[in-house]
Structure 1
Amino acid sequence: MADRQDRIAEHQRGSTFPTRTACATFLTFTLSTAVVLLTGTLLVGCGSSPDEEAEDADQGRYTATGPLLTDTVVDQTYVCQIHSIQHIEVRALEKGYLQDILVDEGQHVKEGQLMFRIRPVLYQAEVQQAAAEAEFAEIEFRNTKALADSNVVSPNELAMARARYEKAKAELAAAQAHLGFTEIHASFNGIVGRFHVRKGSLLDEGELLTELSDNSSMWVYFNVPEAEYLAYRRNEQAGNGTKVRLMLADTEIFDQVGEITAIESDFNNRTGNIAFRATFANPKGVLRHGQTGNILMQSRLDHVLLIPQKATFEVLDHRYVFLIDKNDTLRQTRIETSGELQHIFVVNKGLTKDDHFLLEGLRKVKDRQKVEPVLVPPDSVIKHLELYAE
């Protein structure tokens, strides 16, 4: 028995299985190594790459500029109504059945061209009756005159016979005029509008048949505020002309230049505006009566401040910039504009020529934030925008 126990103890000492103490030592080493590796990983993860460090260094730096004080010319835009130089309603001058329609809607007609004919039978009969009465009165007058020359009748009877003859001639002329009114002719060269009646319609005197428009030239009406009216007068006196352009509904510019030919006598007390009229030649017939568009009228502005449009933002229909104060702190500042060019606003309130404002990064900052501005000369900024617009 004692020998067997000694052999078992000797076998255990030579076995490759670890003892309890060895297992504990191995686990302690493994956990320590894992902790060291995990700590190293966390330290590496918390570190910054070179690019991120450079970005952090630039954080807070934004491009800024100031307004450009200069003279410029801007286009003032006004909503307008376009009218034919002549636009009339064509109406029936006599009552009766509409016998013939001799033109079509949208057709170009010449002055004097027959357009409509009312059935003339009744009026022809009236002319014949009036002609017969006039002939009878003429015969009576001649007979009375012969008797008067022979002193058979008194001068008063001759005068009455003459009056009856003159009356009969007048009634004949009236009947012929009524017959003439059964034919409606074009009053001028123009375009026929929509028909309001059809062939065979029973017409009343004065009933609307169609419209006729002369579109060879067009009158364009638009309203101008008082201050801009005064600026226009100054430009006119300075010899800058009265030419305007017309922007159509599809934003295309009409190929003819217009000229201001009339200004209304009074301002509208309710709106404070005054009506202008510009005349445009319309050789291709592009413009039609009743169209709308926008008048572009150039106005010269002296000693005004120009700023890039991208330096502004809107809040509740008001325009703002981020003004940079002497402490490099942003101040949300409201401005007012009096005109605009492509990519440029003309500022008339809210800025001075010595101010600086944020040019880029407006969505990344907020009011009263401190920044490090990188100033760019305003003339180079505006010049770049003008080149970009071209």
Structure 2
Amino acid sequence: MTRYLLGLLLLAACTAKKDETVEIQTLEVSSPISLDTTIRQEFVADIHAVQNVEIRARVKGYLDRILVDEGKQVKKGQIMFTINSQEYVADLARAKAVLSQASAELKAEELTLVNTRLLVDKNVISKNQLAISLAKVDGLKAKREEALAHVSAAELKVEHSNIRAPFDGIVDRLPFKRGSLVDEGTLLTTLSDNQNVYAYFNVSEQEYLAFSEQGGVNKAASVDLVLANGEHYPQKGIVETIEGEFDKNTGNIAFRARFTNPTKLLRHGASGKVQLPKKVAGYWAIPQKSVFEIQEKSYVFVKDAAGIVKMKSIVPDLRIPHFYLVKTGFSAKDTVLIEGIQLVKQGQKIKSTFKPMRQLLTDYKAL
């Protein structure tokens, strides 16, 4: 029995040793190629309407009418809210009455002034009476100007009881309902002009310098916008301006890009990712599926002339769809394992078929 068990163990050991030397199925390999291309780097962006203003009550009173709805488009000059204006209409009528009285008093005193001049010219009364009459006219003119100012102020309050849209835009939330009492300065809603939007995004100093070397804002760099759902926004944007200084805490500087918004898809406060173009040269393209990690370091398998695979450490510098771009450590003579990295191990001999890296780039539409 003991001899039988020993024989089984020896047979199993021989079988395992034989399996280690057996070549696995044919795997695909390729040689890295050096690329000069333009990549698009992504930066998280906050989207703002070109105009986004708070609509506030300019007089106190009860909301008589709300003539707009949330999320609806309004035109410049359109009445959005009306505040009960009966009190202000009465104040206007009172101010106009005071103005009429002041005007009548002034007119009467001006007639008196004419008569006073005639009497002074005939030496009937002294010149002091003329001076007094002139002073009265000046005082009544000032009184009329004051009454006129009160009329203007009353007219403004009546006018401000109708709250109009300052520009074409989209209405935000309406926190108050009809009949609500609002004070002067109460926020009634927010209005956004979304015909064009700004996308603000932060860029590191290194990327800022690379952008400047490629012409910067002077060349009106075209950028793309990726929406929150991963879809590409159909309209191209333009980098218009860069802030004047770097943030001391983050080391970043803010860019502002403008996008047209003909369908009003983009709204104030939305988010997305701006793709900024960057020219790169002399980078080796390596498929992402060829790369594996061990203890936070990246490796690929490289096959030598005898068909033996060995691990090679790499440092991915940039990324394009399905590929890493590596600056150093490769040559066109290297042969990199493209598939089956889970099936092989260090020092194992493999059979392979060669596929040009340019063909892989075309298949994956990486460029």
Give the TM-score category using the shorter length: 0.7 to 0.9
Q: Tell me which residue corresponds to 1:108.
A: 73
SS in structure 1 at match of 2:211: helix
SS in structure 2 at match of 1:385: helix
SS in structure 1 at match of 2:316: strand
2:109–2:133 Cα contact (<8 Å) kept: no
1:246–1:253 Cα contact (<8 Å) kept: yes
SS in structure 1 at match of 2:315: strand
Out of 97, 104, 111, the residue aligned to residue 132 of structure 1 is 97
CA RMSD of superposed structures (Å): 3.5
Is structure 2 residue 47 aligned with structure 1 residue 82? yes
2:73–2:171 Cα contact (<8 Å) kept: yes
Task: Encode CA deviations 1:146-186: one digit per residue, 9 max, x unaligned.
Answer: 22233354322221111111111011101111111111001
Distance (Å, rounded) in 1 between the aligned partners of 2:351 and 2:213: 41
Which amino acid in 1 is paired with 2:286? Answer: I
1:83–1:219 Cα contact (<8 Å) kept: yes
1:321–1:335 Cα contact (<8 Å) kept: no
SS in structure 2 at match of 1:303: strand
Q: TM-score, normalized by length of structure 1?
A: 0.78
1:266–1:274 Cα contact (<8 Å) kept: yes
2:30–2:336 Cα contact (<8 Å) kept: yes
SS in structure 2 at match of 1:58: coil
1:115–1:186 Cα contact (<8 Å) kept: yes
Out of 370, 374, 384, the residue aligned to residue 347 of structure 2 is 370
> What pairs with 1:112-261 in structure 2 (closer than 5 Å)?
112-151=77-116, 153-236=132-215, 242-261=221-240
Distance (Å, rounded) in 1 between the aligned partners of 2:83 and 2:45: 39
Alpha-carbon distance, 1:318 to partner: 5.0
Out of 305, 313, 333, the residue aligned to residue 313 of structure 2 is 333
Alpha-carbon distance, 1:55 to partner: 9.8
Out of 19, 35, 42, the residue aligned to residue 70 of structure 1 is 35
Q: TM-score, normalized by length of structure 2?
A: 0.82
Which amino acid in 2 is paired with 1:208? Answer: L
Q: Tell me which residue corresponds to 2:120.
A: none
- Give the unaligned 5+ runs of structure 1: 1-37
Distance (Å, rounded) in 1 between the aligned partners of 2:174 and 2:234: 31
Q: 1:159 to 1:214 in 2, by over 3 A?
A: same
2:31–2:357 Cα contact (<8 Å) kept: no
Task: Encode CA deviations 1:261-305: one digit per residue, 9 max, x unaligned.
Answer: 111111112111111111111111111111111111221111222
Distance (Å, rounded) in 2 between the aligned partners of 1:90 and 1:232: 39
Structure with more relative contact order (C-alpha pairs < 8 Å, separation 6 or more): 2
Q: Tell me which residue corresponds to 1:387.
A: 363
Out of 331, 342, 346, the residue aligned to residue 353 of structure 1 is 331
Q: 1:290 to 1:316 in 2, by over 3 A?
A: farther
Distance (Å, rounded) in 1 between the aligned partners of 2:49 and 2:217: 31
2:23–2:351 Cα contact (<8 Å) kept: no
1:62–1:371 Cα contact (<8 Å) kept: no
Q: Tell me which residue corresponds to 1:314.
A: 293
2:220–2:240 Cα contact (<8 Å) kept: no
Q: How many residues align?
A: 344
Identity of aligned residues (%): 35
SS in structure 1 at match of 2:266: coil
Distance (Å, rounded) in 1 between the aligned partners of 2:186 and 2:163: 12
Distance (Å, rounded) in 1 between the aligned partners of 2:364 and 2:46: 33
Task: Encode CA deviations 1:38-91: one digit per residue, 9 max, x unaligned.
Answer: 9xxx9xx99x9xxxx999552598655543222111111111111111111111
1:232–1:299 Cα contact (<8 Å) kept: yes
1:224–1:273 Cα contact (<8 Å) kept: yes
Q: Tell me which residue corresponds to 1:33.
A: none
Larger-Rg structure: 1
SS in structure 2 at match of 1:364: coil
Task: Encode CA deviations 1:343-382: one digit per residue, 9 max, x unaligned.
Answer: 2111246x3436655433322345xx3244778778x124
Q: 1:291 to 1:169 in 2, by over 3 A?
A: same
Q: Tell me which residue corresponds to 1:24.
A: none
1:325–1:331 Cα contact (<8 Å) kept: no
Task: Encode CA deviations 1:88-144: one digit per residue, 9 max, x unaligned.
Answer: 111111111111111111111110001100000111111111111111111111122
- Give the unaligned 5+ runs of structure 2: 117-129
Q: 1:109 to 1:249 in 2, by over 3 A?
A: same
Distance (Å, rounded) in 1 between the aligned partners of 2:192 and 2:311: 58
